[in-house]
Homo-oligomer: A and B are copies of this chain.
């Protein structure tokens, strides 16, 4: 790899002139300029951007901590980030943390060791150690999707509480009164928010909230499948299940159908996220649509604002949602719910 000195020698000018020609061509005479450009061509010179970054102290890299890229929703968020970052000349360093806080801290260190300028977090967790935490001002980070109250940084989030409430109200309006909920990971504030929205709706409708209707999950298909098994076994079965994400809902729906239940005639199922598969399952899934790509784009632009010093306070950006009603939710069956498995009537 030729360096700037070789180009300078080839063109018979100084390295400064080569640098100037490349950075501010107008400050170089046309004659020299063309001579330099020729030398660049001839030598096949490519500036060593590592050196540029080192010198400028700006890496133009952003670390992104993702619990798992295999989650379809996150994949869309990442797409949006990628797009926005590329537009501004930033590259993404993707960290698939698998929920391992060691991995998160390792990647967070890339910011402290000048390998990245900032960090975007898709999970509620402060990956920086105390040294950073005590620093004054905003951390060079943005929290997306999840809410993270304790850390002074911008947050890009959905009004999860309102969205969960809207979905629950949709189910209530269909006549459901025993609505089960399959939750997301325990540790996630997002899970708590959605649960709160669910309770809000029940309370407003004068329906007593029942802990027995809550089932654990972790956002995977298999967790949904498993939770559905528990729901089927419960003494007084629910007529509707609200799942905290679409994968969970698809897993649950699968189990219900295998058990001979019809969706939505016997049991309604609702999801959250509106991943591409939601429109293509059988029946198509009622869910909450989130503009995932916009999440990503907004997170990046917020982070760049922090990095440039444009942002001094930590804004909370609320991304809008949509209730998408498809065919997986329907009127509550008017039978009593004594039998465990209903007969399929055609």
Q: Which B residues are CB-close (under 8 A) to A251? A: 280
User: Of B47, B48, B282, which contacts A282 at CB under 8 A?
Assistant: B282
Q: A51-B54, A281-B281, A282-B282 are in contact. Are A1 and B69 (CB under 8 A)?
A: no
Cβ contacts under 8 Å, A61 to chain B: 93
The answer to whether residues A46 and B112 also contact, given A69-B69, A72-B72, A277-B250 and a CB cut-off of 8 A, is yes
A1-B114, A49-B114, A50-B54 known; A70+B59 contact, CB < 8 A: no
- Closest chain B residue, CB of each to CB of A55: B54
What is the distance, in angstroms, from A123's C-beta to the closest C-beta of chain B?
16
**In this assembly, does A257 line the interface, its C-beta being within 8 Å of a C-beta of chain B?**
yes
> Of A44, A47, A57, A83, which is in contact with the most chain B CB atoms at under 10 Å from its CB?
A44
CA distance A169 to B302 in the complex (A): 54
Is A113 a contact partner of B72 (Cβ separation < 8 A)? no
For the complex, is A225 an interface residue (Cβ under 8 Å from B)? yes
Quick check: is A212 within 8 A (CB to CB) of the other chain? no
Q: If the complex has contacts A96-B79, A96-B83, A221-B277, are A109 and B46 also in contact, measured as CB distance less than 8 A?
A: yes
Bound CA–CA A110/B91 (angstroms)? 10
Within 8 A of B (CB), among A69-121: 69-72, 75-76, 78-79, 82-83, 86, 91-96, 103, 106-107, 109-110, 112-115
User: How far, in angstroms, from A250 to B51 measured CA to CA in the complex?
Assistant: 49
Task: Enumerate chain B residues within 8 angstroms of A341, measured Cβ to Cβ.
Answer: none
Please determine whether A113 and B78 come into contact, CB atoms closer than 8 angstroms.
no
10 examples of A-B residue contacts, CB within 8 angstroms: A51-B114, A69-B78, A70-B76, A86-B103, A225-B280, A247-B276, A250-B277, A251-B280, A254-B282, A277-B277
